[in-house]
A and B are shown apart, each in its own frame.
Chain A
Amino acid sequence: MNLRKTINSIGLADWLLMAIFVIIPLAGMVFINSIISSGSDVVIEIEGMDKYRYPLSDDRVVNIKSSHGSLNVEIRGRKVRVTEASCANKLCERQGWLDKGAIICLPNRISITVGGPQEPKDRTVDAITG
């Protein structure tokens, strides 16, 4: 009944199986994380409605205009950033390069999201403040 005897009774095959069942999920975690979290498209929404969609793999600079102001958005090397904003505090510029997540420019009512190829259909903005 003592513990050492019990642990000694675990065979080599058991330990190997244990190692396999530890390595598979760890590898799976890394693999799935790399697939899911980094998006493939940049989605730009203006005032919650108009949408532009650019693949992250193509480098480009675009100028986005809304009725409140404009942004320059640069896509390079699977990352996206805002290079020039017409607003006062330039929070979006300071956010720098992004390969996942979102840049939200409230003064200009523009949001830049790095997302997957498919988009949830019923996602709308409830309200905008600020």
Chain B
Amino acid sequence: MQSQDRYRIALLSAYALALHGFESLIPMPIPWLRAGLSNIIALTTLVLFGFRAAMMVTLTRVMLASLLTGSFLGPSFILSLGGGVSSVAASGLVLRVLPNIFGTVGISLIGAFFHNISQLLIAYLLFIQKIEPVLIIAPFLILLGTVTGFVNGLVAGILVRNLKNSGSKIQNSNK
């Protein structure tokens, strides 16, 4: 890993962490619901700098956020980790296998979907262990995830376009 990559991952992780912290200030109808703003950074990183960088950014963000909020290794950390990793993995896979079919919105929707699915699965296996409440809540979560995923994808699209236009420096140092 080049030192430039390291700087970039550190910077992007800091952005993601800031958004992660900021979104807890946004009031939500249900307390544990999040808009997933930090996924904007993860998605932008994925599109511009590849899968590895995106996974690093997500892992760093989840670790640091849990350390800052004091939930390290707690339930919300496990849920956050599982959701973040599977979302980046699914998005990265789609970008690799079907590179030119989906824009950032489509990739973001897939990421949001797998984020919710894996969190529901983890919640079921580790914490709830009853299928009915999970099944009742699953469609609502997936629907809300589609909405937030759409918005995040739009924002990530703007970011990607602007970064591509503005920075030949950023592009040249890619890989």
Does chain A bind chain B? yes
8 Å CB contacts to A: which residues of B141-157? 142-143, 145-146, 149-150, 153-154, 157
List the A side residues contacting B113 at CB < 8 Å: 21
C-alpha spacing A7/B103, complex, angstroms: 11
Interface residues on A, range: 10 to 19
From B24-32, B40-48, B81-89, B130-138, the one touching the partner chain is B130-138
Q: Are B135 and A25 in contact (CB under 8 A)?
A: no
Cβ–Cβ < 8 Å partners of A25 in chain B: 138-140, 142-143, 146
Q: Which residues of A contact B154 (CB under 8 A)?
A: 6-7, 10
For the complex, give the distance between the alpha carbons of A12 and B166 in Å.
27
Tell me how far the C-beta of A45 lies from the nearest C-beta in chain B, rounded to whole angstroms. Answer: 22
Residue B35 at the A interface, CB < 8 A? no
Min distance, Cβ A68 to any Cβ of chain B, angstroms: 34
Enumerate chain B residues within 8 angstroms of A1, measured Cβ to Cβ: 158, 162
Interface residues of A in 22-80 (CB under 8 A from B): 22, 24-26, 28-29, 32, 36
| Residue from B106, B132, B136 having most chain A Cβ neighbours under 10 A | B106
Q: What number of residue pairs across chains A and B have CB atoms under 8 A from each other? A: 70
Cβ contact of A14, chosen from B109, B135, B143, cutoff 8 A: B109
Known: A6-B154, A32-B135, A36-B135. A17 touches B106 (CB 8 A): yes
Residues of B within 8 A of A17 (CB): 102, 105-106, 109-110
As a 0/1 sequence over residues 84 to 126 of chain B, the CB contacts with chain A under 8 angstroms (1 = contact) are 0000000000000000011101100110110000000000000
Complex interface: chain B residues within 8 A of A10 (CB): 103, 105, 154, 157
The residue of chain B having its C-beta at the shortest distance from the C-beta of A28 within the complex is: B139
Cβ B158 vs Cβ A6 within 8 A: yes
Please determine whether B106 and A11 come into contact, CB atoms closer than 8 angstroms: yes
Q: Decide: B103 and A9 in contact? CB cutoff 8 A.
A: yes
Minimum CB distance partner of B146 in chain A: A21
Q: Closest chain A residue to B161 by CB distance? A: A9
**In the complex, A128 has a CB within 8 A of chain B:** no
Within 8 Å of chain B (Cβ to Cβ): is A127?
no
Residue of A nearest to B113 (CB): A21
- Assess the A11–B102 pair: CB atoms within 8 A: yes
Q: Are B157 and A9 in contact (CB under 8 A)?
A: yes
With A1-B162, A11-B106, A14-B106 known to touch, is A21 a contact of B142 (CB < 8 Å)?
yes
- 4 closest Cβ pairs, A-B complex: A25-B139, A14-B106, A28-B139, A25-B143
Chain B contacts to A: CB under 8 angstroms: 101-103, 105-106, 109-110, 112-113, 132, 135-136, 138-140, 142-143, 145-146, 149-150, 153-154, 157-158, 161-162
Q: Can you list 17 pairs linking A and B with CB atoms under 8 Å apart?
A: A1-B158, A6-B158, A9-B103, A9-B157, A10-B103, A11-B102, A13-B102, A13-B103, A14-B102, A17-B110, A18-B146, A18-B150, A22-B146, A24-B139, A25-B140, A25-B146, A29-B139
